[in-house]
Amino acid sequence: MDKLMMNGMQFYGFHGVFPEENKLGQRYQVDVELHLPLREAGTRDNMEATVNYAEAYELIKAIVEQKAFKLIEALAECIASELLRTYTSINEVTVRVLKPHPPVAIFFDGVQVEIHRKRA
């Protein structure tokens, strides 16, 4: 299956289990891989045969910046579900959410979840 990938999208959101996270917020990084047939888009140079990544970006941005989740797992699940619901040409989606500064007393590059969902 062909892929359309959107990597390194950064948004400011208010997700977490601690009240401070919900109040102060932080930056999140989101990557998505959209699995869909792209032959027609490639051979006919036709926007109608693909996913408009600018529109998909706005959908993802609205989820990350306007909703609040305790877990980044729930955030990733919501993004995957909405992409599959909105774009019927997508057969599968992989979503990665990176929380670069979790409020824990250990030093690392952040915590990331990756989920992969298929159309039922």
Active site annotation includes 99: yes
Rg, Å, the chain Cα set? 15
**DSSP run (H or E) holding 20:** helix 19-24
With beta carbons less than 8 A apart as the criterion, state whether 66 and 82 touch. Answer: no
In the numeric block, the tokens 């970006």 are attached to 57
Query: Catalytic: which of 3, 61, 67, 99?
Result: 99
Catalytic residues: 99
